C-alpha cells in the first residue's frame, strides 16, 4: 500500500500583495523541522527565496514543483538540525565566516560537524544574532578569498604540509621559549601562566607526533586515491582497512590539540594582558593567538574539506 504525503498549499494569488510575504513567513515559522508546505503563485517567487534565506537563514529546502509559464509551485521544507549545513561546511564555502564563529566561541574545526542551530542551543546563543553577522559579511565577489574546496586533493595535501605543518614546526620552539620564560618570571604573580606552559607543551607534543602520521601514511594514501580517480582506475583496500580509520584517529588528535588551545584562551581570558606585562609577555600572547588561528585553519582544511572528500573518493575507487 502506498501512503501519499499530504502537504498544505498556500494559494498566494488569493492574498493582497502586502500580505503575501508576511503570510508565507507565518506559515514557515509555524512549521517544525521536517515539515513542509507548498506555495502556489502566478509568477516565479524566487525573490522570496532570498528574503527567506536572509531573514531565517539556511534552514529550509526550496524545491520547484511547477515552473510556469502560468503557474509556479514551490515546496518549502523546514530542515531539522541534522539536515542543516554543518558549521564546517559553512566555513568550507566561505572561510570568512570563521571569524564570526570564533567571536561567539563556536568551534568550526574540531566541532565543525554540528549545525549552527545545534551549537547555538548548546551554548545558549541567539542564532539570529550569529546569522545577522554572517549575512553582513561583504559580498564574496568583491573579496579575495581562497576557494580551498575547489583545489585538487593532492595539491591541498601538499599545501597543508608546506604551509601549515611547516609553520607549526617553526613556531613551536619559539613559543616554548616564550611560555617557559613568562611562566618563570611572572608565574608567581600570574599563576595561570604555569597552566599556559603546561597546555602549550601538551599541544606541541601532540602535533609533533601527529603530523608525521599524516605525512607518511594518510596524505600519501589520499594522493593515491586522487590519482586512481583521475585515471579511472580501481585500487585494492589499504592495510588499515578504510581511510575512515586513520581519519578518525587524526580527528581525535585534532580535538585534543584544539582543547588544549581552548584551555589557554579560557585561562588567559581571551589573551588579556595584565598591566605589568613585559615585552616577552606581550609577544608570547600575540604568538599564541597567531598559532591558534593557524591551527584552526589547518584543522578546518583537513576535517571539513580534505577528509570528507577523501572518504567519498575512496568509495569510488575501491
Residue 4's pLDDT band, with cuts at 50, 70 and 90, is very low
Mean pLDDT of the chain: 87
Q: Are 129 and 105 in contact (CB under 8 A)?
A: no
Residue 53's pLDDT band, with cuts at 50, 70 and 90, is confident
Q: Got the DSSP string for 274-297?
A: PTT--HHHHHHHHHHHHHHHHHHH
User: 35: alpha, beta or left, given left = phi > 0 and alpha = psi -120 to 50?
Assistant: beta
C-alpha–C-alpha distance, residues 186 and 192, integer Å: 10
Residue 110 has, within 13 A of its CA and on its CB side, a CA count of: 18
pLDDT, position 143: 44
Binning the chain into helix, strand and coil, the percentages to the nearest 5 are 65, 10, 30
What stretches of 36-185 adopt beta strand conformation (E)?
36-41, 60-67, 72-78
Sheet with 60-67, edge to edge strand ranges: 9-11, 36-41, 72-78, 60-67
More confident of the two residues 244 and 108: 244
pLDDT, position 112: 64
Average pLDDT over every residue of 136-155: 72
pLDDT, position 111: 64
Lowest mean pLDDT among 60-64, 157-161, 308-312: 60-64
pLDDT, position 176: 96
**Residue 293: partners with Cβ closer than 8 Å, 6 or more residues away:** none
With a cut of 50, say whether residue 142 has pLDDT above it: no
pLDDT, position 5: 57
Lowest mean pLDDT among 54-63, 68-77, 208-217: 54-63
Among 245, 255, 247, smallest CA distance to 114 is for 255
Instruction: Find out whether the peptide bond into 69 is cis, omega within 30 degrees of 0.
Output: yes
With a cut of 60, say whether residue 25 has pLDDT above it: yes
C-alpha–C-alpha distance, residues 153 and 278, integer Å: 44
* pLDDT tens, residue by residue, 36-49: 999 999 988 888 88
pLDDT, position 110: 63
Q: Are 297 and 95 in contact (CB under 8 A)?
A: yes
Residue 3's pLDDT band, with cuts at 50, 70 and 90, is very low
What are the chain's domains? Answer: 9-78 (3.30.110.40), 87-142 (no CATH), 148-317 (no CATH)
What are the CA-CA distances from residue 58 to residues 87, 99, 238 (Å)?
Answer: 11, 18, 38
Lowest mean pLDDT among 41-45, 135-139, 153-157, 311-315: 135-139
With a cut of 90, say whether residue 52 has pLDDT above it: no
- Residues β-bridged to residue 62: 76
* pLDDT tens, residue by residue, 154-211: 999 999 999 999 999 999 999 999 999 999 999 999 999 999 999 999 999 999 999 9
- For 7-21, the three-class secondary structure string (H helix, E strand, C coil) is CCEEEHHHCCHHHHH
Amino acid at each position: 500500500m502506498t501512503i501519499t504525503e499530504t502537504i498544505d498549499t498556500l494559494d498566494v494569488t488569493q492574498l493582497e500583495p502586502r500580505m503575501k510575504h508576511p503570510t508565507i513567513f507565518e506559515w514557515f515559522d509555524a512549521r517544525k523541522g521536517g515539515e513542509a508546505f507548498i506555495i502556489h503563485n502566478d509568477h516565479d517567487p524566487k525573490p522570496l527565496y532570498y528574503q527567506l534565506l536572509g531573514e531565517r537563514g539556511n534552514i529550509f529546502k526550496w524545491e520547484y514543483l511547477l515552473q510556469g509559464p502560468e503557474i509556479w509551485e514551490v515546496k518549502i521544507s523546514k530542515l531539522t538540525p541534522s539536515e542543516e549545513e554543518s558549521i564546517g561546511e559553512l566555513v568550507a564555502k566561505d572561510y570568512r565566516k570563521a571569524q564570526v564563529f570564533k567571536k561567539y566561541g563556536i568551534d568550526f574545526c574540531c566541532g565543525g560537524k554540528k549545525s549552527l542551530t545545534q551549537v547555538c542551543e548548546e551554548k545558549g546563543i541567539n542564532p539570529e544574532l550569529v546569522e545577522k553577522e554572517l549575512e553582513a559579511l561583504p559580498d564574496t565577489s568583491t573579496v579575495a578569498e581562497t576557494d580551498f574546496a575547489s583545489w585538487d586533493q593532492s595539491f591541498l595535501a601538499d599545501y597543508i604540509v608546506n604551509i601549515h605543518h611547516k609553520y607549526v614546526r617553526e613556531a613551536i620552539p619559539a613559543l616554548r621559549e616564550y611560555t617557559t620564560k613568562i611562566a618563570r618570571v611572572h608565574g608567581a604573580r600570574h599563576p595561570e601562566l604555569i597552566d599556559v606552559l603546561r597546555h602549550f607543551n601538551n599541544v606541541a607534543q601532540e602535533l609533533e607526533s601527529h603530523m608525521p602520521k599524516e605525512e607518511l601514511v594518510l596524505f600519501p594514501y589520499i594522493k593515491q586515491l586522487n590519482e586512481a580517480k583521475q585515471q579511472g582506475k580501481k585500487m585494492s583496500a589499504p592495510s588499515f582497512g578504510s581511510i575512515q580509520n586513520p581519519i578518525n584517529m587524526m580527528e581525535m588528535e585534532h580535538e585534543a590539540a584544539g582543547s588544549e588551545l581552548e584551555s589557554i584562551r579560557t585561562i588567559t581570558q581571551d589573551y588579556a594582558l595584565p598591566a605589568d606585562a613585559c615585552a616577552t609577555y606581550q609577544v608570547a600572547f600575540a604568538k599564541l593567538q597567531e598559532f591558534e588561528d593557524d591551527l584552526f585553519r589547518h584543522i578546518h582544511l583537513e576535517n571539513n574539506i580534505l577528509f570528507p572528500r577523501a572518504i567519498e573518493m575512496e568509495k569510488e575507487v575501491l
